[in-house]
Amino acid sequence: MKGDPWAPSWKLDVGVHTDVGRARQRNEDAAKVSTTPALLSVADGMGGHRGGDRASNIAVEALHEYVRQAQEQGVKPGEDLLYEAFETANVLILNDAARNPQFQGMGTTLTAMLFANHGTFLAHVGDSRAWRLRDGEPVQITDDHSLVAEQVREGSLTEEEARVHPSRHVLSRVLGFMADVTFDTMTVDVQPDDTYVLVSDGLERGLEANDIVRLVQAEANAEDAARSLVDTACERDGGDNITAIVVRCFALDSEALTLELDRV
């Protein structure tokens, strides 16, 4: 394993769950988890008649295929690789819309984590979020790419004002709207017993950060935790599609449960 840069340096317990919610007719979220490479992604699509689910599915499939091919070709995993994969996904969505005028204007968020031997890498665009739960404390490790979130970071709006602002869901950056878009990337400092939660924004319409911690800690495995998050958010609000991926990280010699991935 030491010689394989793609082999995760952690034992991973991963769960994924998604729900259309109570108000939507179709699910425009997409989630995908793969074992080889150890890649997790959540996308939240938008853009008219069937455009949203089309964009989100193109994004996650393009991401995973690009990274899989890079692994086969011996490319080193890292932030640059994820950035290039996001660029490819963006081009594919734009090209698809150009060929199919009924889908013009479709777009999607995309948040992804890649677990490798020499590091864990994250890439992100839009307002789907990645949370780290460590020692019972939740930390959002992604920045929302929305007009309201940018005003909060600039200091012109408070967090409280942002939660009820009428434009809080207007995004400033997504895949598929323009050719020139910037993505956030980072190397994540994973520690033993960390939990990471990737969610579409529909989940946080019904749950606060402390609810995420409580619900995840109450479950014995990541699959049940992901289902509990989505089901509880749906019961409390359900006004949007809801998706969660939960990944628990353990030392390789841990007796912790692991699950098979390679699921959508």
Quick one: pLDDT band at residue 2, thresholds 50, 70, 90? low
Query: Could you tell me if residue 185 is inside a domain?
Result: yes
pLDDT at residue 165 is higher than 80: no
Query: Could you tell me if residue 264 is inside a domain?
Result: no
Query: Could you tell me if residue 195 is inside a domain?
Result: yes
Tracing tokens 């994973």 back to the chain, one arrives at: 190
- Output 183 or 169, whichever has higher pLDDT: 183
pLDDT at residue 261 is higher than 60: no
The total number of structural domains that make up the chain: 1
Q: Which domain holds residue 66?
A: 11-250
Query: Could you tell me if residue 259 is inside a domain?
Result: no
pLDDT at residue 80 is higher than 70: yes
Report the CATH number that the domain containing residue 104 is assigned in CATH.
Answer: 3.60.40.10
Query: Could you tell me if residue 237 is inside a domain?
Result: yes
pTM of the model: 0.92
* Token digits of residue 263: 């699921």
Reported as a single tens digit per residue, the pLDDT across 118-163 is 899 999 999 999 999 999 999 999 999 987 767 767 766 666 655 6
Query: Could you tell me if residue 263 is inside a domain?
Result: no
Query: Could you tell me if residue 6 is inside a domain?
Result: no
Query: Could you tell me if residue 222 is inside a domain?
Result: yes
pLDDT at residue 234 is higher than 80: yes
Average pLDDT over residues 98-127: 96
